[in-house]
Structure 1
């Protein structure tokens, strides 16, 4: 469901994107803002933000192919040399190409990789210091996804958490899993249904946001 904020509520606006929603719903905006904030900070707040640098790989094969082609072309010029000086010049170039080819063949192919450098800041730090736009960007970049279902009769005083489902997918998933597991274990102890040792609580699978979703989770500054 696509959400659009109006009069303090979020309402389904799928029609704006040419889609059909079989169960349109309306929910109080402040409930969503608070719920998303709590869930995001619970899962990702303690995680340290890293600056990722893309390091390109290297494949010597294109240069090897180009050098071989140049050597073959140079070899065809050998019989045209008539003078000793000309042959000496041809040989110097031939030797240089052969040396170059040997150097290239000694180089190893490397795959592109990503290097993550810690920034010293956590997601909670940037969340608390950022404005609404910065927070929305953090949610989208993290692969955050909020599902809102229709409410039940009488459920207008407080948020019925059965109506909402907040998930995060993508690069943050492995980093936030321990936080989610710990929080779920604490919640289970409070409820009296502590999971058995060894049980791991993972985030629900979620499809990353691939379409523009304006006003998905606008948060109060």
Structure 2
């Protein structure tokens, strides 16, 4: 009962394809992508987030990825329009051929040429590069005394993930898909506003006592995506060259990092010293 989003005062429904229950319940969203209220909240956003974190830490089997969730959601972007790439599930004879697709290059309403790439290959390339660069670094955790904007940002991000999962199962040229895209657009706008607020939040970074590689092994795909975001990972994918062989081409992918978020807040002199130390580690 404490796990379901109904305690926030929201109208809920089961994830498509799942039985109704606390773990699989999700908020019903209005046309703007906001949760529909069903009454007063029982738990605040901050309390509910803390409760769920404790329950997840004690539970086994929770955190399994939903259809459409992806490691590189809002990390991978299209080189043509800088829009996010969404993971679309596709299985053939039991094999995973899921892809990352730019919605602005799909169908008659597309504004540029198609940009589609096999998801598994991209994720493996980014994972290997990320751990090679940062795996031995100590992981830091943000301690947030006033987490209102941060918690709202987390909720909006989860709503985006749910809608992305629904979009992956819809006909890209159908009316339902475009309705979902409109909701995603509204949510992404709100996400940007909350990110700006969160940047001015007061708090501090504290050491977790684990390396990034150790934490990566323990986290779900959703948690790993958060780690990529904390390191400022940016993946740009270019469309395939017309007439090129239909095989995975790593040259289509550019991976860059702004660096750990806890370092981006340092003054230039401190950041320079840390970057020198980082170069020594990476060149060892």
Q: TM-score with structure 2 length normalisation?
A: 0.37
Higher RCO (C-alpha 8 Å, min separation 6): 1
Q: In terms of Rg, which structure is larger?
A: 1
